[in-house]
Structures are given as C-alpha cells and as structure tokens.
Structure 1
Amino acid sequence: MIKRVNKDLKSNVKKIFTECWNTDFMVSKSKVHYIDNLESFVYIKNKEIIGIITFTIDNNEIEIVSLDSFIENKGIGTALINEVIELFRSYQYNKLWLITTNDNLNALKFYQKRGFIITDIYINAIEKSRKLKPSIPILGYDNIAILHEIQLNYYK
C-alpha cells in the first residue's frame, strides 16, 4: 500500500532517510533539500515501510529528490515513481524531473525504462555539491568517480 506521508509518518521517514543517506538532506543543482521540507510517499507492507520517495514541489514543478526501495526487484520503486507521475499528471504541473550522478548506472537504467529522458549533464557539478555536503564520497558505484550530475525529465 502506498501512502502520502503525513505528520504521523514524518518522523519515521526522517529516521529512515537519515539512516540511508547518513544525513537529513540531499543536494541537487547546488540546492540543499532537507527531509523536513520534502513531500513523500511511502510503500508499506505488513505495517513496515519498505520504500520511500521524496520530492519537492516548487514553481509548478516536481523534483524527485530520493528514491529508496528496501526490497529490490519487487516493483516497489516503480510503484512509488508511478505515484509521483500520477500526481504530476493529475495536477497539471509543468515539469517532473530529477538529478542523479554519473556513477549511478542502475538509476539511469531504472528511470529511462520508466519514461524519463536524459536532458542535461552538469559537468563537475559534484565539486559544488561537496562544498554543501562534504560527505559525498569521491568514488561511487563500481568505483566510478562521482563527478557530474545528470538530469532526467519526464514528459506527459
């Protein structure tokens, strides 16, 4: 079951987000996104949160900030993405987009399979991000240097 996070679930989501990301914020395009200020959907099974998607709504745009599925390859991430896509379509927002890093090949595959299109690559953007969040590692998935931000947009 997917639920939009309300004040009753917010502290749980913050705790899980902080455990996953070792901080209570994310950085994209040099903007800091604190979990307390983000919207979220959670995927709940047997009263346990097994997936979280966080996003922000600003200037009639939705930016997906994070997606975490705690049981891989069971459709949890897809269900959460579809929930945000439905929100995007229902309320006639102008744009749905996200940022990932160059090392995150699984995310690039995942989002493209769900209709997102690579629209921009911000070369060496992670240098700026590390000034705001020094905990961003130098090496990411498969020991690939984390250097660039890649933007993907979803079009109706």
Structure 2
Amino acid sequence: MVGALAYRVGADGLEVVSLVAATPGGGVGTALLEAATTTAGEAGLARVWLITSNDNLRALRFYQRRGLRLVGVDRGAVDRARRLKPEIPLVGEDGIPLHDELVLELRTDVDG
C-alpha cells in the first residue's frame, strides 16, 4: 500500500477525514485527493473539505497548493478537545502552540 484516503459523505460535501502517503512527495497524496474530488463531483457534491490543526503547516501547504482554500477557523477547538483528551499536546509541529482547527475546502461546482 502506498497511501490511503478516508472520507465521509454528508449533506455538506465530501469530508477528507484522513490522507496518508507512505512516502511524502511522490504524488500519491495528490492522486488520492484528485480521486476524492472526482468522486465528489460525480456524486453531485459541491465541495471537498477537511479540518486540520493550526500547527500542521505541511498539510496547509499541501492542500492550498492543490486549490483548497481556508474558509474557517474554530478558535480554541483543540483546547476544548484537550479537556476530554488531556493527552493532546500543548505544542504541536514546529514548536507551534496547538489551539485551533482550520477548515479548508475545494468547491467542485462551477460557481464556487
């Protein structure tokens, strides 16, 4: 297996729940995201979307380069989750304090 993408389909579109490539930079993630976008379009869904944390700069760079746009910030979402799961670290990747969730989306409809 070279990669995997898990998604959920709902009234709000196709949500990318998880995207993992065994070897980053080899095009697998891009191919999986393109397949998800095609699946959404064929199902008549207007958007592909996902949530990531504010420290995940690698994901932000990856998704924005592939056309997804930042459409929302849930300030303090990780802080609230930490109340239920205290094992969530206070500091994330690159030493960035971990507090918020970011919503990115790619519109699959023509007007989006």
Q: Is TM-score (shorter-chain normalized) higher than 0.5?
A: yes
Residue 149, structure 1, aligned to residue 101, structure 2: yes
Residue 140, structure 1, aligned to residue 92, structure 2: yes
Aligned to 1:94: 46
- Which stretches of structure 1, 4 residues or more, deviate above 6 A after TM superposition? none
Aligned to 1:77: 29
Residue 53, structure 1, aligned to residue 31, structure 2: no
Aligned to 1:8: none
Q: 1:3-42, aligned counterparts within 5 Å?
A: none
Larger proportion of strand: 1
Q: How many Å apart are 1:60 and its aligned residue?
A: 5.3
Between Structure 1 and Structure 2, how many residues are aligned?
A: 108
- The alignment's TM-score, normalised by the length of structure 2, stands at 0.88
Q: 1:104 aligns with which of 56, 74, 88?
A: 56
Aligned to 2:82: 130
Q: Which amino acid aligns with 2:3?
A: G
Across the aligned residues of Structure 1 and Structure 2, the Cα RMSD in angstroms comes to: 1.4
Q: Which structure would you say has the larger RCO, counting Cα contacts within 8 Å and 6 or more residues apart?
A: 2
Structure 1 CA distance for aligned equivalents of residues 11 and 2 of structure 2: 30
Given the superposition, is the C-alpha separation of residues 76 and 101 from structure 1 closer, same or farther in structure 2, using an over 3 Å criterion?
same
Structure 2 CA distance for aligned equivalents of residues 137 and 55 of structure 1: 25
Q: How many Å apart are 1:131 and its aligned residue?
A: 3.5
Q: 1:67 aligns with which of 16, 19, 23?
A: 19
